[in-house]
């Protein structure tokens, strides 16, 4: 199949884009049917008491509810919310939600800078492999062949690269917005300013960190400050969803520079974002574990700061790696 990145075609599709439940249901159900684990779960665990589409519909509805709740509800992990709400096994819920994510991504027409070596399709889904640091899987939207990040990078030519000699890095034009960024090689749009923002970054009731950061820093810098404030590692993909209600669909989203061709957080200088006191947005970290942080601009001050840092904190932050699974069970809602 040919590329689908002609601008006029994409615009037409975008204009027609509606978050249609039935369309999503049909897509996710079809994918779930292909995936042996889900029909097997229905047959073995649920004794075929419900049909596949009813099963998938209940997961999607529960997932949609998550976003309709007040923001305090974000203290509960998205996958946990659906697992607890439906009573289905967590790994099956996670799998169904990954298909739902694939649906959303295909509706938003996220393209990569490389084509699928198998079929030439230029829409690839990026998924983190659970428990593996730095390992990401790409899945072709069309033929659904899976690739590891490493395989894709070594096998694919970057057309936009001026690679007339071996040293791509020297030829890389940092001033050209059209150039692709390769993992590890990117430029930040950070600039010097004498003013700072104070953000309140909360994770559920009574748990927050106040972070001071230069207005000239970028969203990517803010991501580092948030992760430091909560003692999290910095090994996973994140996304900033620029929406006060914490919605993740049809809102501007910024990703780490290594997510090629997506809107790059390192190019988004904070003071250019049009934030005003009280502006809110969502920081989601690790697409596997789905840590959610609500970010709110609390104030602006005329004070220089070399890097984003925590100035005040309250409440114990979540543990990124909970090694004792039994602890999880204890705070289930018995």
Minimum distance of Zn ion from residue 127's CB (angstroms): 15
Minimum distance of Zn ion from residue 122's CB (angstroms): 9
**Furthest-apart CA atoms within the chain: distance in Å:** 65
Report the residue from 60, 138, 140, 239 that binds Zn ion according to the rule CB under 5 A.
140
Find the length of the chain.
334
Which CB sits closer to Zn ion, 65 or 143? Answer: 143
Distance of CA 307 to the CA centre of its chain: 24
Distance of CA 79 to the CA centre of its chain: 14
143 belongs to the binding site for Zn ion (CB under 5 A): yes
Strands laid side by side in the 136-140 sheet: 124-128, 136-140, 146-148
Query: E strands of the chain, at which residues?
Result: 124-128, 136-140, 146-148, 196-202, 208-214, 238-241, 253-254, 280-285, 291-301, 309-314
DSSP 3-state helix, strand, coil percentages of the chain (rounded to 5)?
Answer: 35, 20, 45
Burial of residue 308 (CB within 10 Å: 0-12, 13-18, 19+) is: buried
H/E segment holding residue 96: helix 90-107
Distance of CA 222 to the CA centre of its chain: 15
The helix/strand/coil state of 51 is coil
Residues 189-228 as x/- pattern, contact with Zn ion by CB under 5 A:
----------------------------------------
User: CB under 5 A: which stretch of 3-11, 48-56, 143-151, 214-222 binds Zn ion?
Assistant: 143-151
Site for Zn ion in 243-262 (CB under 5 A): none
Which CB sits closer to Zn ion, 40 or 119? Answer: 119
Minimum distance of Zn ion from residue 152's CB (angstroms): 12
Minimum distance of Zn ion from residue 31's CB (angstroms): 15
User: CB under 5 A: which stretch of 17-25, 91-99, 132-140, 162-170 binds Zn ion?
Assistant: 132-140
Which CB sits closer to Zn ion, 146 or 277? Answer: 146
Site for Zn ion in 107-126 (CB under 5 A): 116, 118-119, 121
Residues 27-46 as x/- pattern, contact with Zn ion by CB under 5 A:
--------------------
Question: What is the spatial distance between Cα 250 and Cα 47, in angstroms, rounded to a whole number?
Answer: 38
User: CB under 5 A: which stretch of 16-24, 137-145, 166-174, 199-207 binds Zn ion?
Assistant: 137-145
Which CB sits closer to Zn ion, 27 or 199? Answer: 27
Using CB under 5 A, list all residues that contact Zn ion.
116, 118-119, 121, 140, 142-143
């Amino acid at each position: 199949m040919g590329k689908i990145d002609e601008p006029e075609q994409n615009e037409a599709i975008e204009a027609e884009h509606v978050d249609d439940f039935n369309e999503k249901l049909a897509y996710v159900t079809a994918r779930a049917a292909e995936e042996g684990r889900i029909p097997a779960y229905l047959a073995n665990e649920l004794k075929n008491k419900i049909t596949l589409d009813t099963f998938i519909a209940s997961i999607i509805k529960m997932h949609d509810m998550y976003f309709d709740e007040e923001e305090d509800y974000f203290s509960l992990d998205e996958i946990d919310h659906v697992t607890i709400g439906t009573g289905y096994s967590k790994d099956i819920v996670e799998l169904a939600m990954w298909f739902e994510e694939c649906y959303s991504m295909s509706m938003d027409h996220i393209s990569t800078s490389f084509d699928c070596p198998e079929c030439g399709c230029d829409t690839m889904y990026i998924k983190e492999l659970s428990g593996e640091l730095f390992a990401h899987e790409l899945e072709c939207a069309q033929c659904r062949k899976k690739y590891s990040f490493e395989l894709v990078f070594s096998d694919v030519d970057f057309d936009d690269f001026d690679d007339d000699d071996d040293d791509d890095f020297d030829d890389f034009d940092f001033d050209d917005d059209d150039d692709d960024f390769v993992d590890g090689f990117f430029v930040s749009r950070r600039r010097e300013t004498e003013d700072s923002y104070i953000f309140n970054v909360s994770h559920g009731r009574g748990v927050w960190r106040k972070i001071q950061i230069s207005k000239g820093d970028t969203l990517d810098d803010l991501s580092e400050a948030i992760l430091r404030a909560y003692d999290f590692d910095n090994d996973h993909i994140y996304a900033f969803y620029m929406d006060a209600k914490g919605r993740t669909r049809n809102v501007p989203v910024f990703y780490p520079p290594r997510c090629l061709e997506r809107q790059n957080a390192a190019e988004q200088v904070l003071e250019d974002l049009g934030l005003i006191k009280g502006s809110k947005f969502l920081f989601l970290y690790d697409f596997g574990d789905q840590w959610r942080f609500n970010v709110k601009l609390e104030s602006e001050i005329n004070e220089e700061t070399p890097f984003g840092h925590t100035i005040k904190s309250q409440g114990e932050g979540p543990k990124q790696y909970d090694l004792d699974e039994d602890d999880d069970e204890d705070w289930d809602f018995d």
